[in-house]
Amino acid sequence: MKVGFYGHVRQYHNVKDEIDKNISEVLESGSYVMGPMLSKFEEKLASYAGTKYAIGVGNGTDAIWLALMALGIGKGDEVITPANTFFATAEAIWIAGAKVVLVDCDPKTKCIDPNALEAAVTDKTKTAVPVHLYGHTANMKSIKDIADRHDLVLIEDNAQSIDGHGNGFRQAELSDAMTISFIIQKNLGCFGDGGAVVTNNSTVDREVRILRNHGSLKRDVHSFGYNSRLDDLQAGVLSAKLGHIIEWTDMRRKWAKRYSKGLSSCTSIELPYEAPGVRHVYHLYVVETKDASKRDSLLNYLKDAGIDAKTHYSIPIHLQTGYPWGKDAEIRGNLANVEKNAASCVSLPMYPELEAEEVDYVIEKVKEWDKDNS
């Protein structure tokens, strides 16, 4: 049997009629950029997120730096984020002109460790960008307390966890802005690149709208800005898909439960953790080998069995040689949890359209490997 890592085409076939209808509506309208389909999607997204505003932008990376700029963060400011995120989080802070300060993650949730965050605050710190990694919402209550104590603004990088929530709080409820990525492999993915900023802050809404469209809210009137818009065709795809996000998360959670039950007897791996009260949306189902030196052995065993497993992320940001270290970025504190995760993580196939036999086949192969390596 072969088990792929993504189910993009299966998902398209399941909602083809709704997607095709919206695409055709856009094509027939002749409005392909900043048209009515984009406005419709932005309204739908804000209503879904429970925020006053949603602004479609070119991708999830732009969403982060546009939000930072809209909040006035840039040169001379420090922005704290975890070192175990996708490279884009740090990159976006750097693009905005601020200094990237990397800290450790919580060993269980893999999201930013609030204690490490607070220890890294200096008088130059203006912002923290917690990341809802793998589908688990970060501990925003503790993070908000820290932000209030030190007068920081907060941006949630929610590229990976749309439809999740924390223990007693909604995503985007405790921050100044939340950013989303719609690249195809995300839980809500378009057919290419896309992103959004959602917020309750009218200044952020206005500034992102200006910045994303060449500094212009009105024809012929410009300040300096950029070109980072969500195309109407992608907005049409996302509009159709947004109506299914809850059922798709429920399917991800169902497969995660099946994996965790099936793998509970394994002694050589650790299974993903879900903190009480959190709706984990399992963007990724990441196991860790207890012995990091055996991670590649598990990965290769699965690949040889026809299972497309991956690593997220095997080289953490602070170990990337291409990063502009020095005045633009620095590590604060010990990154032991980040490094352990990077060395031992294996992501198993996870998407709503998986079949039970595929999940069971993956479980069988992981168990075989575990038996040989215990």
Ligand X SMILES: Cc1ncc(COP(=O)(O)O)c(C=O)c1O
One residue of 56, 60, 82, 236 binding ligand X per CB under 6 A: 60
Closer by beta carbon to ligand X, 239 or else 268: 239
Residue 160 binding ligand X, by CB under 6 A: yes
Residues in the chain: 374
One residue of 51, 85, 175, 289 binding ligand X per CB under 6 A: 85
One residue of 118, 157, 163, 358 binding ligand X per CB under 6 A: 157
Query: Which of the stretches 152-160, 162-170, 237-245, 349-357 binds ligand X when contact is defined by CB under 6 A?
Result: 152-160
Closer by beta carbon to ligand X, 3 or else 317: 317
Spatial strand order of the sheet with 269-270 comes to 269-270, 285-289, 345-348
Instruction: Kindly write down the DSSP assignment for every residue of 2-39, as one continuous string.
Output: -B-S--HHHHHHHTHHHHHHHHHHHHHHT--SS-HHHH
One residue of 11, 61, 125, 268 binding ligand X per CB under 6 A: 61
Residue 268 binding ligand X, by CB under 6 A: no
Neighbours of 243 (CB within 10 A): 12
Alpha helices in 171-305 (DSSP H): 202-212, 232-242, 245-262, 295-304
Residue 195 binding ligand X, by CB under 6 A: yes
**Tokens representing 135?**
């589908």
Cβ–Cβ under 8 Å, residues 101 and 335: no
State which of positions 285-314 bind ligand X (CB under 6 A): none
Residue 243: CA count within 13 A, CB half-sphere: 11
- Phi and psi at residue 301, to the nearest 5°: -60, -45
One residue of 181, 187, 228, 239 binding ligand X per CB under 6 A: 181
Residue 131 binding ligand X, by CB under 6 A: yes
Closer by beta carbon to ligand X, 66 or else 159: 159
Neighbours of 300 (CB within 10 A): 12
Query: Which of the stretches 85-93, 169-177, 251-259, 294-302 binds ligand X when contact is defined by CB under 6 A?
Result: 85-93
Question: CB of residue 181 vs ligand X: minimum separation in angstroms?
Answer: 3
Q: Is the dihedral of CA 214, 215, 221, 223 positive or negative?
A: negative
Residue 284 binding ligand X, by CB under 6 A: no
Neighbours of 216 (CB within 10 A): 15
Closer by beta carbon to ligand X, 65 or else 301: 65
Count residues near ligand X (CB under 6 A).
15
| Footprint of ligand X (CB under 6 A) | 59-61, 85-86, 88-89, 131, 157, 159-160, 181, 183, 193, 195
